[in-house]
Amino acid sequence: MTRRMARLRHHLSRSWLYGLSAIILIFLVTPAMIVVPMSFSDNSLLAFPPASWSLRWYRAYLASDVWTEATQLSLLIAFLTASLATPLGASAAWGIQRARPRMEPALLLALAAPVMVPIILVAVGTFYVYARIGLVNSITGVVIAHTMLAIPFVVTVVIARLRTFDFEQMNAAAIAGASPLVAFLTIAVPQLRATFITAALLAFLTSLDEVVMALFISGGAYSTLTKVMFTNLRDQIDPIIAVVSTLLVAISILVVSLYQLLQLRPARRGLED
């Protein structure tokens, strides 16, 4: 039979697979999307699809001090986390890539630990420590904790890129008269800019979405957005949640799209990625 017919037959025989996969993909994607129309609902019931539409909950959100302050706080914390985690994680990735190959798995494991240990434990333990040094309910405390949680992501992203980076360039720069710092700034940074931005975005998002740690160590005047949302969902569901959720989903989509865009840029060997 012709190749076209063969391919068609191949696809048809797999139609059950395609169908099942399509259902699963819909299952994965839809829930997060429904919060968007929910935010435009006119009434306070949790009915979906909404019976009538309006912007009332957006207005309520903007009018609410609790929600807007929590949003600003979370965005600030996320920004600070990204600013701290990116240099720390990137320099760790750089150091590991240049260190003896024997050490690499051990170091990577140590830096990946925050992801593998159940977050509830880390949260409780950190709360215990913070309570004794007075860092509970503070911006500093949350930023430090979130930085620790974001570092594995930064390291993973940066180290993946560094595997294709020609480190001999740094030697060439040194011979040409550049001190290690100057060489890093003039040769490495221009080529790794996109990777650093991606890593920063991931760190930002990790902090913004983080729930469990924030539940324990943030509070009072310094409650994060996630803490306010959680308390809300547990006690009495305020329809403003739909607005906040939409906001968070929009930020997620933005970050993921940027990330994919940066990954898919034409791979000009070694150039700015």
Partner 1 sequence: MNDNKPALSVEVAGISKNYGPVRVLERVELSIRRGEFLTLLGPSGSGKTTLLTILAGFTSPAAGRVFFGDKDVTFVPPHRRNIGMVFQKYALFPHLSVAGNVEYPLRMRGIDRRERRLKIEAALDLVALAGFGERRIDELSGGQQQRVALARAIVSEPPILLMDEPLSALDKNLRDRMQMELRALHDRLGITTVYVTHDQREALTMSDRIAVMNKGSIAQLGTPQEIYRAPASRFVGEFIGESAFLPLKARDGRLAIGDVLLPAGYVDDGEPRALLVRPEHLVILPTGEPDEPMLRFEGHVHNQVYRGESHLLGVSIPDVGTVMVIGPAGGPVPGTGDTIRLGLRERDICIV
Partner 2 sequence: MRPGIFRSRKPHGVMLAIPALSLVALLLFLPLIWLAVISFQDPQGALSLDNYRRVMREPAIVATYLMTFKISVSVTLICILLGYPLAYMIASLPRKWAVPALLAVTLPFWTSTLVRTYAWIILLQRRGVVNTWLIDRGLIDQPLALAYSFTGVVIGMVHIMLPFFVLPLYATLSSIDSSFMRAAASLGAGPFRAFWTVYFPLSLPGVLAGTVLVLVLCLGFYVTPALLGGGRVLVIAMAIERAAAQYASWGVAAALGITLLAATVLSLGLGWFVTRQGRRTRA
Identify what 270 binds: partner 1, partner 2, none; CB under 5 to 8 Å per kind: partner 1
* Rounded distance between C-alpha atoms, residue 101 and residue 98, angstroms: 8
Task: Please give the size of the binding site for partner 2, defined by CB under 8 A.
Answer: 84
Going by C-alpha positions, the residue among 74, 77, 201, 233 that lies closest to residue 143 is 77
Binding mask 242-261 for partner 2 (x = CB under 8 A): x--x--xx--xx-xx---x-
How far does CA 70 lie from the centroid of its chain? 18
Binding mask 111-140 for partner 2 (x = CB under 8 A): x-xx-xxxxxxx-xxxxxx-----------
Q: For residue 220, what are its two tokens?
A: 């009072």
Identify what 228 binds: partner 2, partner 1, none; CB under 5 to 8 Å per kind: none
Q: Find all residues with CB under 8 Å of 126, minimum gap 6, and list them.
A: 145, 213, 216, 217
Taking contact as CB under 8 A, which single stretch among the options 52-60, 75-83, 185-193, 231-239 is the one that binds partner 2? 231-239
Residue 86 Cβ vs partner 1, minimum distance, rounded to whole Å? 20
Residue 253 Cβ vs partner 2, minimum distance, rounded to whole Å? 7
Report the site for partner 2 in 178-197 (rule: CB under 8 A). Answer: none
* Rounded distance between C-alpha atoms, residue 159 and residue 143, angstroms: 23
* Rounded distance between C-alpha atoms, residue 137 and residue 221, angstroms: 8
Report the site for partner 1 in 57-96 (rule: CB under 8 A). Answer: none
Residue 18 Cβ vs partner 2, minimum distance, rounded to whole Å? 7
Report the site for partner 1 in 104-163 (rule: CB under 8 A). Answer: none
Identify what 44 binds: partner 2, partner 1, none; CB under 5 to 8 Å per kind: none
Report the site for partner 1 in 152-171 (rule: CB under 8 A). Answer: 166, 168-169, 171
Residue nearer to partner 2 on the CB measure, 101 or 177: 101
* Rounded distance between C-alpha atoms, residue 269 and residue 273, angstroms: 9
* Rounded distance between C-alpha atoms, residue 127 and residue 218, angstroms: 9
Residue nearer to partner 2 on the CB measure, 27 or 268: 27
Residue 186 Cβ vs partner 1, minimum distance, rounded to whole Å? 8
From residue 27, how far is each of 21, 22, 61 by CA, in Å? 10, 8, 29
Report the site for partner 1 in 169-228 (rule: CB under 8 A). Answer: 169, 171-180, 182-183, 186-187, 190-191
Give 211-265 as a 3 state SS string: CHHHHHHCECCECCHHHHHHHHHHCCCCCHHHHHHHHHHHHHHHHHHHHHHHHHC
Q: Give the footprint of partner 1 on this chain (CB under 8 A).
A: 166, 168-169, 171-180, 182-183, 186-187, 190-191, 268-272
